[in-house]
Amino acid sequence: MSKLETVVNEIVAEMRDMPQRGEVASYIPELARVDPKAFGLVVIDAEGKVAAAGDADTPFSIQSISKVFTLTLALGKFGDRLWQRVGREPSGSRFNSIVQLEYEKGIPRNPFINAGAIAVTDAILGGHQPREALGEILRFMQYVAADDTIYIDDKVAASEQRTGFGNIALANYMKSFGVIEGPVDYTLGVYFHHCAIAMSCRQLAMAARYLAHFGNDPTTVLPVVTPERARRINALMLTCGHYDGSGEFAYRVGLPGKSGVGGGIMAIVPGKASIAVWSPGLDASGNSQLGQLALERLSKRMEWSIF
């Protein structure tokens, strides 16, 4: 067994009976039904070797992790013009906060807080029908993961659509500043559905490979984005990927990473590996509690911190 496989197995065994697992998200009712004991970890190295343990093949709701892929798509369409509608600074606020939008004329701080991701989704939507935009996002996910079984969990999307009043407020408020161009319900419909994409840790670690390998999928050597773009997306993940917990994540783990309220975290070891971890319980910032602990241990044992 390689050192990486040993470490991955060790960590999953350590997490199995950990008492402090955080709280499963309940503001999206459908997410509250997930088993808090679930835990999965997958690492794919530069040669394509997979180290997987725990619930590595159980699909879960990727939620905000989808924002990395919508950002990639939107940058592909608009290039640097995208930054006219969304900033690149950490917010220091909760992921669903509205407070800064008034002071900052409806321009969200970064593409990973909810407001910023809704603005990015609106850019992708352009003048298209919601289904076209959603199809484009889903196909992109399937392409980068090399897996066309990845699907949207319609129950999760409907559950958020019924209860997502905070996001509805954010979108309407941005619309009042002209930052959202399309019909608000179209933009939100696409946003709720891309957040409801279900993927396993194995699929997510596959999908993250282009970010770990300078914009290329090393198995197919197909360029997904330029090396410069991959570097910049990683920089945003490092500084904003865990919202008001981003400083703590950089301090403890030392890798670019993006969390979701489904309990997943996707992390990147530039040039070396892509990682996906899943544990549904969240900390106070809405980031997976054990996911962060597992990544802290993995990064330390493999000496993977970028610092």
Residue list, annotated binding site for substrate? 64, 114, 160, 167, 191, 243, 261
Please enumerate, by residue number, every residue annotated as part of a binding site. 64, 114, 160, 167, 191, 243, 261
> Which parts of 117-156 interact with ligand DON (CB under 6 A)?
none
Among 30, 136, 160, 296, binds ligand DON (CB under 6 A): 160
Among 24, 286, 298, 299, binds ligand DON (CB under 6 A): 286
Q: Which stretch binds ligand DON (CB under 6 A): 5-13, 203-211, 215-223, 254-262?
A: 254-262
Give me 249's structure tokens.
């994540």
Adjacent-strand bridge partners of 259: 265
Q: Quick one: DSSP state of residue 288?
A: B
Report in angstroms how near the CB of residue 48 gets to ligand DON at its nearest: 29
Does residue 70 bind ligand DON (CB under 6 A)? no
Q: Which of 8, 175, 243, 299 is catalytic?
A: 243
Adjacent-strand bridge partners of 199: 60
Number of residues in contact with ligand DON under rule CB under 6 A = 13
Q: Are 94 and 109 in contact (CB under 8 A)?
A: no
Strand residue runs (E) in the chain: 23-24, 40-45, 50-54, 60-61, 151-152, 197-199, 216-217, 222-223, 257-259, 264-269, 273-278, 281-282
Q: Quick one: DSSP state of residue 108?
A: -
Residue 246 annotated to the active site: no
Does residue 114 bind ligand DON (CB under 6 A)? yes
Pick between residue 276 and residue 302 the one whose CB is nearest to ligand DON.
276
Residue 225 annotated to the active site: no
Report in angstroms how near the CB of residue 136 gets to ligand DON at its nearest: 19
Q: Which of 8, 34, 64, 210 is catalytic?
A: 64
The residue count of the chain comes to 307
Report in angstroms how near the CB of residue 20 gets to ligand DON at its nearest: 18
Distance, CA of 188 to CA of 183 (rounded, Å): 9
Give me 90's structure tokens.
């950490």
Residue 243 annotated to the active site: yes
Among 95, 210, 249, 278, binds ligand DON (CB under 6 A): 95
Count Cβ atoms within 10 A of the Cβ of residue 173 and give its class: 0-12 exposed, 13-18 middle, 19 or more buried. Answer: middle
Q: Are 15 and 290 in contact (CB under 8 A)?
A: yes
Give me 63's structure tokens.
């939620």
Burial call 193-219: b when 16+ CB within 10 Å, e when fewer = bbbbbbbbbbbbbbbbbbbbbbbbbbe
Among 44, 51, 64, 111, binds ligand DON (CB under 6 A): 64
Report in angstroms how near the CB of residue 261 gets to ligand DON at its nearest: 4
Pick between residue 27 and residue 143 the one whose CB is nearest to ligand DON.
27
**Residue positions annotated with a catalytic role:** 64, 67, 191, 243, 261
Residues at the contact surface with ligand DON, assessed by CB under 6 A: 63-64, 95-96, 114, 160, 167, 195, 259-261, 286-287
